[in-house]
Amino acid sequence: MRKLLHNFLNLFFPPLCIVCHSRLAEGEEHICTECLLLLPKTNFHLQEDNRIEQFFAGRIPFGRVSAYAYFVKGGSMQSVVHELKYRYNPQLGRYLGRLCGENIKGSDFVRGIDLLVPVPLHPKRERQRGYNQSMEICKGISAVTGIPIDDTTLRRVVNNQSQTKNSRFDRWKNVEDIFSLADAEAFAGKHILLVDDVITTGSTIESCAKEILKSADSRISIYALATAN
């Protein structure tokens, strides 16, 4: 019955690709096959000392850094990220997380990872948005890789303003001391994969990492859906 209702609704409101806006074929989700094949993947998870690892070198101690795809203004990933962050589409986040999970599953990049930790939103911001997009990505990655998620230990305790229109310097100032650990020992001895949607200046990631590394013998790797670097 549910499938019949779904098919009936699709006659009048067919699901469209969020990139090219063409009608999705049966079996396609959110992004049509053609656009999916054209997503600008980085494959950084296969490259040690890749460009984004060089970007973070010397700023924080890390194991590895990777991102699923490049974020280019006006490109396909801009449409994807905009849909994820501003159009209430948590299902898209989990779908993108599964793509990410399939991309890195079985690779050295995730070998030894103990926990997935999403970059947290402030509770007020999360209520406004309806979900944390980084958490939804984590859910998809976890479903594919089996790595558990911890979304309670790292907390955003300051509801800072949006970073979207800030200069590089202002972004750094805007994320100082905005995160804390609910339990300073929760990550002790753990290898954490810190997960975000988009890496731009890296200021948010760096602020999170510094807080996580306060746990004794903790280690960090970093993964994002997209990178502008």
Output DSSP code: residue 45: G
Check residue 14 and give its pLDDT. Answer: 82
CATH level 2 (architecture), domain 41-160+167-227: 3-Layer(aba) Sandwich (3.40)
Q: What is the pLDDT at residue 3?
A: 45
Q: End-to-end distance of the chain based on CA atoms, in angstroms?
A: 47
The reported pLDDT for the residue numbered 11 is 53
pLDDT at 177: 79
Once rounded to an integer, what is the mean pLDDT over residues 199-209? 94
Provide the residue ranges of all domains of the chain, joining segments of one domain with +.
1-38, 41-160+167-227
* Each residue's pLDDT tens digit, 70-110: 999 999 999 999 999 999 999 999 999 999 999 999 999 99
Choice between 171 and 221, residue whose per-residue pLDDT is larger:
221
Return the closest-CA partner of residue 194 out of 66, 50, 58, 52.
66
Q: What is the pLDDT of residues 22-59, one digit of tens each?
A: 999 999 999 999 999 999 999 999 999 999 999 999 99
CA nearest neighbour of 198 among 74, 109, 72, 105: 72
| Region for 148 from its dihedrals, namely left if φ exceeds 0, alpha if ψ lies in -120 to 50, beta otherwise | beta
DSSP-assigned letter for residue 43: -
Q: What is residue 1's predicted lDDT score, i.e. its pLDDT?
A: 45
Residue 5 in tokens: 């209702």
pLDDT of the residue at 229: 84
Determine the Cα–Cα distance for residues 183 and 33; give it in Å rounded to an integer. 43
Which pLDDT band, with edges at 50, 70 and 90, does 5 fall under?
Answer: very low
Per-residue pLDDT, averaged over 162-173, amounts to: 54
User: Is the Cα dihedral 27, 135, 149, 172 positive or negative?
Assistant: positive
- The pLDDT-based confidence of 6 (bands split at 50, 70, 90) is very low
Q: Which amino acid is at 48?
A: E
Angle between helices 76-86 and 133-145 (to 10 degrees): 110
